[in-house]
Protein backbone atom coordinates (compact mmCIF):
# COMPACT_ATOMS: atom_id res chain seq x y z
CA UNK A 1 0.00 0.00 0.00
CA UNK A 2 1.47 3.28 -1.03
CA UNK A 3 1.66 5.89 1.70
CA UNK A 4 2.14 9.61 1.22
CA UNK A 5 2.99 11.91 4.09
CA UNK A 6 2.77 15.66 4.30
CA UNK A 7 4.31 17.10 7.43
CA UNK A 8 5.09 20.19 9.45
CA UNK A 9 7.94 20.54 11.97
CA UNK A 10 7.61 23.25 14.56
CA UNK A 11 9.47 24.46 17.60
CA UNK A 12 8.46 27.34 19.86
CA UNK A 13 11.85 28.26 21.19
CA UNK A 14 14.56 25.69 20.34
CA UNK A 15 18.00 27.03 19.49
CA UNK A 16 20.07 24.57 17.53
CA UNK A 17 22.75 25.74 15.14
CA UNK A 18 20.86 27.28 12.25
CA UNK A 19 17.47 26.99 13.99
CA UNK A 20 17.16 30.22 15.98
CA UNK A 21 14.40 32.02 17.87
CA UNK A 22 10.84 30.73 17.46
CA UNK A 23 10.59 29.13 14.07
CA UNK A 24 8.41 26.77 12.08
CA UNK A 25 9.74 24.66 9.20
CA UNK A 26 7.20 23.23 6.74
CA UNK A 27 8.37 20.06 4.96
CA UNK A 28 6.35 18.43 2.17
CA UNK A 29 7.85 14.98 2.39
CA UNK A 30 5.97 13.31 -0.44
CA UNK A 31 6.86 15.90 -3.08
CA UNK A 32 10.42 16.52 -1.95
CA UNK A 33 10.09 20.29 -1.52
CA UNK A 34 10.46 22.40 1.62
CA UNK A 35 9.14 25.78 2.67
CA UNK A 36 9.97 27.53 5.95
CA UNK A 37 8.31 30.35 7.79
CA UNK A 38 9.52 32.19 10.90
CA UNK A 39 7.77 33.67 13.88
CA UNK A 40 8.83 36.65 15.99
CA UNK A 41 11.48 36.40 18.65
CA UNK A 42 11.12 37.45 22.28
CA UNK A 43 13.05 40.55 23.33
CA UNK A 44 13.74 41.87 26.83
CA UNK A 45 12.00 44.97 28.09
CA UNK A 46 13.32 48.43 27.30
CA UNK A 47 14.49 51.07 29.75
CA UNK A 48 17.35 53.50 30.38
CA UNK A 49 19.48 52.07 33.19
CA UNK A 50 20.79 54.39 35.85
CA UNK A 51 24.30 53.86 37.23
CA UNK A 52 23.95 52.82 40.85
CA UNK A 53 26.77 51.34 42.89
CA UNK A 54 24.19 49.74 45.16
CA UNK A 55 22.68 47.72 42.33
CA UNK A 56 22.93 43.95 42.62
CA UNK A 57 24.78 43.85 39.30
CA UNK A 58 25.51 46.71 36.91
CA UNK A 59 23.06 49.58 36.45
CA UNK A 60 19.89 49.44 38.49
CA UNK A 61 16.91 47.88 36.73
CA UNK A 62 14.34 50.58 35.98
CA UNK A 63 10.66 50.35 36.95
CA UNK A 64 11.14 48.43 40.18
CA UNK A 65 8.25 50.37 41.75
CA UNK A 66 5.87 49.78 38.83
CA UNK A 67 2.24 48.99 39.64
CA UNK A 68 -0.87 47.80 37.84
CA UNK A 69 -0.51 46.76 34.22
CA UNK A 70 3.17 47.73 34.10
CA UNK A 71 4.04 45.41 36.98
CA UNK A 72 1.95 42.64 35.48
CA UNK A 73 3.78 43.02 32.18
CA UNK A 74 7.14 42.95 33.95
CA UNK A 75 6.21 39.79 35.86
CA UNK A 76 4.95 38.11 32.71
CA UNK A 77 8.17 38.99 30.90
CA UNK A 78 10.26 37.70 33.77
CA UNK A 79 8.31 34.44 33.79
CA UNK A 80 8.81 34.03 30.05
CA UNK A 81 12.52 34.74 30.37
CA UNK A 82 13.05 32.05 33.01
CA UNK A 83 11.01 29.31 31.29
CA UNK A 84 13.12 26.24 30.47
CA UNK A 85 13.63 25.61 26.74
CA UNK A 86 14.12 21.95 25.82
CA UNK A 87 15.46 20.37 22.65
CA UNK A 88 12.08 18.85 21.74
CA UNK A 89 10.31 19.78 18.50
CA UNK A 90 6.78 19.02 17.31
CA UNK A 91 6.12 16.98 14.16
CA UNK A 92 2.72 17.45 12.56
CA UNK A 93 1.85 15.47 9.47
CA UNK A 94 -0.80 14.16 7.10
CA UNK A 95 -0.66 10.44 6.28
CA UNK A 96 -2.44 9.19 3.13
CA UNK A 97 -2.73 5.82 1.40
CA UNK A 98 -4.21 4.75 -1.94
CA UNK A 99 -7.77 5.34 -0.72
CA UNK A 100 -7.10 8.80 0.75
CA UNK A 101 -6.43 10.10 4.28
CA UNK A 102 -5.41 7.30 6.66
CA UNK A 103 -7.14 6.51 9.96
CA UNK A 104 -6.08 4.39 12.91
CA UNK A 105 -3.06 3.80 15.12
CA UNK A 106 0.42 3.81 13.60
CA UNK A 107 4.04 3.62 14.77
CA UNK A 108 6.55 6.11 13.34
CA UNK A 109 10.35 5.97 13.30
CA UNK A 110 12.46 9.08 12.67
CA UNK A 111 16.19 9.22 11.92
CA UNK A 112 18.60 12.01 11.05
CA UNK A 113 21.38 11.52 8.49
CA UNK A 114 24.24 13.68 7.22
CA UNK A 115 23.51 12.82 3.59
CA UNK A 116 20.33 12.82 1.46
CA UNK A 117 20.77 9.20 0.26
CA UNK A 118 23.59 7.39 2.13
CA UNK A 119 25.82 8.91 4.82
CA UNK A 120 25.90 8.33 8.56
CA UNK A 121 22.99 8.37 10.95
CA UNK A 122 23.74 11.31 13.26
CA UNK A 123 21.34 10.52 16.10
CA UNK A 124 19.58 7.54 17.61
CA UNK A 125 16.26 6.46 16.13
CA UNK A 126 13.25 8.20 17.60
CA UNK A 127 10.06 6.12 17.63
CA UNK A 128 6.65 7.49 18.45
CA UNK A 129 3.13 6.03 18.30
CA UNK A 130 0.34 8.23 17.02
CA UNK A 131 -3.38 8.07 16.35
CA UNK A 132 -4.15 9.25 12.82
CA UNK A 133 -7.55 10.74 12.20
CA UNK A 134 -8.53 11.86 8.73
CA UNK A 135 -4.84 11.68 7.92
CA UNK A 136 -3.82 14.16 10.64
CA UNK A 137 -1.43 13.34 13.48
CA UNK A 138 1.07 15.03 15.83
CA UNK A 139 4.10 13.51 17.55
CA UNK A 140 6.83 15.07 19.73
CA UNK A 141 10.43 14.52 18.60
CA UNK A 142 13.54 14.96 20.72
CA UNK A 143 16.84 14.11 19.07
CA UNK A 144 18.82 15.84 21.84
CA UNK A 145 20.47 19.22 22.13
CA UNK A 146 23.32 18.33 19.75
CA UNK A 147 21.12 17.26 16.83
CA UNK A 148 21.14 20.65 15.11
CA UNK A 149 24.59 22.22 15.45
CA UNK A 150 24.78 24.01 12.10
CA UNK A 151 25.65 21.04 9.90
CA UNK A 152 23.26 19.91 7.14
CA UNK A 153 20.99 17.01 8.13
CA UNK A 154 18.20 15.03 6.42
CA UNK A 155 15.16 13.44 8.06
CA UNK A 156 14.22 9.85 7.23
CA UNK A 157 10.73 8.64 8.20
CA UNK A 158 9.34 5.13 8.42
CA UNK A 159 5.74 4.14 9.27
CA UNK A 160 4.05 0.89 10.36
CA UNK A 161 0.58 -0.11 11.54
CA UNK A 162 0.65 -0.06 15.34
CA UNK A 163 2.35 -3.15 16.79
CA UNK A 164 2.95 -4.76 13.39
CA UNK A 165 6.64 -3.85 13.21
CA UNK A 166 6.43 -3.70 9.40
CA UNK A 167 8.01 -0.31 8.88
CA UNK A 168 7.95 1.15 5.41
CA UNK A 169 10.67 3.76 4.83
CA UNK A 170 9.49 6.79 2.91
CA UNK A 171 11.70 8.21 0.20
CA UNK A 172 13.39 10.57 -0.37
CA UNK A 173 14.86 11.85 2.87
CA UNK A 174 13.95 15.44 3.53
CA UNK A 175 16.48 18.19 4.18
CA UNK A 176 16.05 20.11 7.41
CA UNK A 177 16.21 23.66 6.14
CA UNK A 178 16.57 26.88 8.08
CA UNK A 179 13.73 29.25 8.77
CA UNK A 180 14.07 32.74 7.22
CA UNK A 181 14.72 34.19 10.67
CA UNK A 182 17.74 31.91 11.08
CA UNK A 183 19.11 32.73 7.63
CA UNK A 184 20.14 36.10 9.04
CA UNK A 185 22.67 34.22 11.23
CA UNK A 186 24.57 32.10 8.68
CA UNK A 187 27.86 32.28 10.61
CA UNK A 188 26.45 31.49 14.06
CA UNK A 189 26.95 28.03 15.49
CA UNK A 190 26.80 26.33 18.87
CA UNK A 191 28.75 23.52 20.46
CA UNK A 192 26.29 21.62 22.69
CA UNK A 193 29.13 19.74 24.40
CA UNK A 194 30.75 22.91 25.79
CA UNK A 195 27.97 25.50 25.45
CA UNK A 196 30.25 27.70 23.32
CA UNK A 197 28.63 30.06 20.80
CA UNK A 198 30.69 30.98 17.75
CA UNK A 199 30.14 33.92 15.42
CA UNK A 200 32.25 33.86 12.28
CA UNK A 201 33.84 30.48 13.03
CA UNK A 202 37.31 30.10 14.46
CA UNK A 203 38.71 27.96 17.23
CA UNK A 204 38.39 28.84 20.93
CA UNK A 205 41.38 30.64 22.42
CA UNK A 206 40.75 29.00 25.79
CA UNK A 207 38.81 25.98 27.00
CA UNK A 208 36.88 28.41 29.25
CA UNK A 209 35.58 30.43 26.30
CA UNK A 210 31.79 30.55 25.94
CA UNK A 211 31.54 33.13 23.13
CA UNK A 212 33.91 33.50 20.21
CA UNK A 213 33.66 36.20 17.54
CA UNK A 214 35.92 36.15 14.49
CA UNK A 215 36.24 38.31 11.42
CA UNK A 216 38.85 36.99 9.02
CA UNK A 217 40.40 40.40 8.35
CA UNK A 218 43.94 41.53 9.14
CA UNK A 219 42.82 44.97 10.28
CA UNK A 220 40.64 46.55 12.97
CA UNK A 221 38.08 44.04 14.29
CA UNK A 222 35.92 44.36 17.37
CA UNK A 223 32.50 44.84 18.89
CA UNK A 224 30.36 47.82 19.89
CA UNK A 225 27.58 48.14 22.45
CA UNK A 226 25.46 50.91 20.94
CA UNK A 227 22.97 53.10 22.78
CA UNK A 228 20.04 55.12 21.47
CA UNK A 229 21.26 58.71 21.74
CA UNK A 230 23.94 61.18 22.97
CA UNK A 231 22.98 60.69 26.63
CA UNK A 232 22.97 56.86 26.45
CA UNK A 233 25.01 54.81 28.87
CA UNK A 234 26.05 51.58 27.12
CA UNK A 235 27.65 49.17 29.56
CA UNK A 236 29.27 45.74 29.75
CA UNK A 237 29.15 43.68 32.92
CA UNK A 238 30.73 40.72 34.66
CA UNK A 239 29.46 38.56 37.55
CA UNK A 240 30.68 35.45 39.34
CA UNK A 241 27.18 33.92 39.21
CA UNK A 242 23.50 34.87 39.29
CA UNK A 243 22.81 33.98 42.92
CA UNK A 244 22.52 36.36 45.87
CA UNK A 245 25.92 37.37 47.23
CA UNK A 246 27.68 37.20 43.87
CA UNK A 247 30.60 39.48 43.03
CA UNK A 248 30.38 41.77 40.04
CA UNK A 249 31.92 44.64 38.09
CA UNK A 250 30.93 46.60 35.00
CA UNK A 251 32.11 49.33 32.65
CA UNK A 252 30.10 52.04 30.97
CA UNK A 253 30.45 55.01 28.67
CA UNK A 254 28.47 57.87 30.16
CA UNK A 255 27.17 59.93 27.26
CA UNK A 256 26.06 62.78 29.53
CA UNK A 257 29.52 63.37 31.01
CA UNK A 258 31.61 61.91 28.15
CA UNK A 259 33.45 59.58 30.50
CA UNK A 260 34.42 55.91 30.46
CA UNK A 261 33.94 54.43 33.93
CA UNK A 262 34.80 51.24 35.75
CA UNK A 263 32.54 50.15 38.60
CA UNK A 264 33.05 47.45 41.19
CA UNK A 265 30.96 46.55 44.22
CA UNK A 266 32.62 49.58 45.91
CA UNK A 267 31.25 51.99 43.28
CA UNK A 268 32.95 54.06 40.57
CA UNK A 269 36.64 53.24 41.06
CA UNK A 270 38.23 54.44 37.81
CA UNK A 271 37.31 57.12 35.26
CA UNK A 272 38.82 58.36 32.00
CA UNK A 273 37.42 61.59 30.53
CA UNK A 274 37.13 62.39 26.83
CA UNK A 275 40.06 64.79 27.29
CA UNK A 276 42.20 61.95 28.68
CA UNK A 277 42.09 62.94 32.33
CA UNK A 278 42.39 59.91 34.61
CA UNK A 279 41.19 59.58 38.18
CA UNK A 280 40.85 56.64 40.53
CA UNK A 281 39.49 56.09 44.00
CA UNK A 282 42.20 53.71 45.22
CA UNK A 283 45.98 53.26 45.22
CA UNK A 284 47.93 52.80 42.01
CA UNK A 285 50.52 50.05 42.14
CA UNK A 286 53.11 48.73 39.72
CA UNK A 287 55.51 45.75 39.57
CA UNK A 288 58.92 46.54 41.01
CA UNK A 289 60.65 46.00 37.63
CA UNK A 290 58.35 48.45 35.80
CA UNK A 291 59.16 52.10 35.22
CA UNK A 292 56.87 55.10 35.67
CA UNK A 293 55.02 55.27 38.95
CA UNK A 294 56.55 56.01 42.35
CA UNK A 295 57.12 52.66 44.06
CA UNK A 296 57.65 53.93 47.61
CA UNK A 297 58.42 57.04 49.65
CA UNK A 298 59.38 57.76 53.26
CA UNK A 299 60.10 60.65 55.60
CA UNK A 300 62.51 59.67 58.34
CA UNK A 301 64.59 61.34 61.08
CA UNK A 302 68.00 60.05 60.05
CA UNK A 303 70.23 59.74 63.13
CA UNK A 304 72.84 57.50 64.58
CA UNK A 305 71.06 57.74 67.93
CA UNK A 306 68.12 55.45 68.75
CA UNK A 307 66.24 58.09 70.67
CA UNK A 308 66.15 60.43 67.68
CA UNK A 309 65.56 57.92 64.84
CA UNK A 310 61.94 57.93 63.67
CA UNK A 311 59.87 57.11 60.56
CA UNK A 312 57.11 59.72 60.50
CA UNK A 313 55.23 58.44 57.44
CA UNK A 314 55.71 56.19 54.40
CA UNK A 315 53.98 54.19 51.68
CA UNK A 316 55.09 51.13 49.75
CA UNK A 317 53.15 49.95 46.68
CA UNK A 318 55.40 46.92 46.19
CA UNK A 319 55.14 45.11 49.51
CA UNK A 320 52.27 47.04 51.10
CA UNK A 321 54.29 47.10 54.31
CA UNK A 322 55.64 50.22 56.10
CA UNK A 323 59.16 51.39 55.36
CA UNK A 324 61.47 50.86 58.36
CA UNK A 325 64.74 52.46 59.51
CA UNK A 326 67.74 51.62 61.70
CA UNK A 327 70.44 53.80 63.21
CA UNK A 328 73.62 54.18 61.18
CA UNK A 329 77.26 53.57 62.16
CA UNK A 330 78.24 57.26 62.36
CA UNK A 331 76.91 60.73 63.00
CA UNK A 332 73.86 61.68 60.90
CA UNK A 333 73.65 58.23 59.29
CA UNK A 334 70.82 55.69 59.08
CA UNK A 335 69.65 52.62 57.16
CA UNK A 336 66.24 52.78 55.43
CA UNK A 337 64.70 49.41 54.54
CA UNK A 338 62.06 49.30 51.75
CA UNK A 339 61.62 45.51 51.66
CA UNK A 340 62.34 45.07 47.92
CA UNK A 341 65.43 45.10 45.71
CA UNK A 342 66.68 48.64 45.10
CA UNK A 343 69.75 47.83 43.02
CA UNK A 344 67.93 48.32 39.70
CA UNK A 345 65.70 51.25 40.74
CA UNK A 346 66.06 55.03 40.67
CA UNK A 347 65.76 56.97 43.92
CA UNK A 348 66.22 60.51 45.21
CA UNK A 349 66.77 61.88 48.73
CA UNK A 350 66.27 65.41 50.07
CA UNK A 351 66.96 67.11 53.38
CA UNK A 352 63.80 68.80 54.69
CA UNK A 353 62.69 71.23 57.41
CA UNK A 354 65.84 73.34 57.52
CA UNK A 355 66.59 76.96 56.69
CA UNK A 356 70.29 76.19 56.68
CA UNK A 357 72.35 74.44 54.02
CA UNK A 358 71.80 70.70 54.41
CA UNK A 359 72.23 67.76 52.09
CA UNK A 360 71.69 63.98 51.90
CA UNK A 361 73.75 61.22 50.36
CA UNK A 362 72.25 57.72 49.88
CA UNK A 363 73.44 54.53 48.26
CA UNK A 364 72.27 50.92 48.18
CA UNK A 365 73.68 49.12 51.20
CA UNK A 366 76.49 46.78 50.22
CA UNK A 367 75.22 44.08 52.59
CA UNK A 368 71.45 44.33 51.88
CA UNK A 369 70.07 45.45 48.49
CA UNK A 370 66.65 46.15 50.03
CA UNK A 371 67.86 49.12 52.07
CA UNK A 372 69.66 52.43 51.57
CA UNK A 373 72.60 53.68 53.63
CA UNK A 374 72.01 57.42 54.02
CA UNK A 375 73.82 60.32 55.67
CA UNK A 376 72.34 63.75 56.31
CA UNK A 377 75.12 66.33 56.37
CA UNK A 378 75.98 70.00 56.73
CA UNK A 379 78.96 71.97 55.34
CA UNK A 380 81.91 72.36 57.68
CA UNK A 381 82.87 75.87 58.76
CA UNK A 382 84.60 77.84 56.03
CA UNK A 383 83.17 75.34 53.48
CA UNK A 384 85.90 72.83 54.24
CA UNK A 385 84.16 69.52 53.42
CA UNK A 386 80.99 68.26 55.18
CA UNK A 387 80.07 66.45 58.36
CA UNK A 388 77.20 64.23 59.35
CA UNK A 389 74.35 66.08 60.95
CA UNK A 390 71.14 64.21 61.78
CA UNK A 391 67.68 65.42 60.88
CA UNK A 392 64.66 64.77 58.67
CA UNK A 393 65.06 63.45 55.12
CA UNK A 394 62.62 62.36 52.42
CA UNK A 395 63.37 59.49 50.00
CA UNK A 396 61.40 58.63 46.86
CA UNK A 397 61.93 55.36 44.93
CA UNK A 398 60.86 55.07 41.26
- Is the pTM higher than 0.75? The answer reads no
Let me know: does 138 contact 91? Beta carbons within 8 Å: yes
pLDDT of residue 5: 60
- Would you kindly state where each structural domain of the chain is located, as residue ranges? 4-42+85-181, 193-223, 235-280, 296-397
Residue 154 reports pLDDT greater than 70: yes
Distance in angstroms (rounded) separating the CA atoms of residues 75 and 77? 5
What are the tens digits of pLDDT across the range 170-206?
A: 888 888 877 765 666 667 877 877 888 988 888 888 8
pLDDT of residue 47: 36
> DSSP code of 16?
B
Instruction: List the beta bridge partners of residue 23.
Output: 11, 38
What is the phi/psi pair of residue 231, to 5°? -95, 10
Mean pLDDT over 256-278 rounds to 95
Instruction: List the beta bridge partners of residue 297.
Output: 315, 396
Average pLDDT, the chain: 79
Residue 8 reports pLDDT greater than 70: no
β-bridge pairing 347-351 and 391-397? antiparallel
Task: Name the 3-class secondary structure at 340.
Answer: coil
What is the phi/psi pair of residue 69, to 5°? -60, -35
% of the chain with per-residue pLDDT over 90: 51
pLDDT of residue 83: 61
Distance in angstroms (rounded) separating the CA atoms of residues 24 and 314? 70
105 CB neighbour count, 10 Å cutoff: 12
pLDDT of residue 182: 64
β-bridge pairing 104-113 and 168-169? unpaired
What are the tens digits of pLDDT across the range 341-374?
A: 999 999 999 999 878 899 999 999 999 999 999 9
Superfamily for the 4-42+85-181 domain: Purple acid phosphatase-like, N-terminal (2.60.40.380)
What are the tens digits of pLDDT across the range 14-64?
A: 333 332 222 222 232 333 322 222 233 322 333 333 333 333 444 554 444
Q: How many residues does the chain have?
A: 398
Where is 313: in which H helix or E strand? strand 310-316
| Alpha carbon distances (Å) from 104 to 112, 132, 302, 350 | 26, 5, 104, 102
Amino acid sequence: MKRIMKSVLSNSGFWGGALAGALVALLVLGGGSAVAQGAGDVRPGNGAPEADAAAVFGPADPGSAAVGDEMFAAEALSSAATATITSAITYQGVLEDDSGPANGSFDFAFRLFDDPTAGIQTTSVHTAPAVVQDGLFTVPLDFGADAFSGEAVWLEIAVSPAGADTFETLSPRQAITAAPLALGLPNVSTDPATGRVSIGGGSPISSFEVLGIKRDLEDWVGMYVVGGGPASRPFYGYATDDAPGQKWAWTEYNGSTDEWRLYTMSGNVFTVSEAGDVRGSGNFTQPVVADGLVKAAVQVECWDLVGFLDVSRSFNTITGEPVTAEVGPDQGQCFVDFGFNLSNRFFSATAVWSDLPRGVSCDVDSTNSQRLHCMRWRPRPNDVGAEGWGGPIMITVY
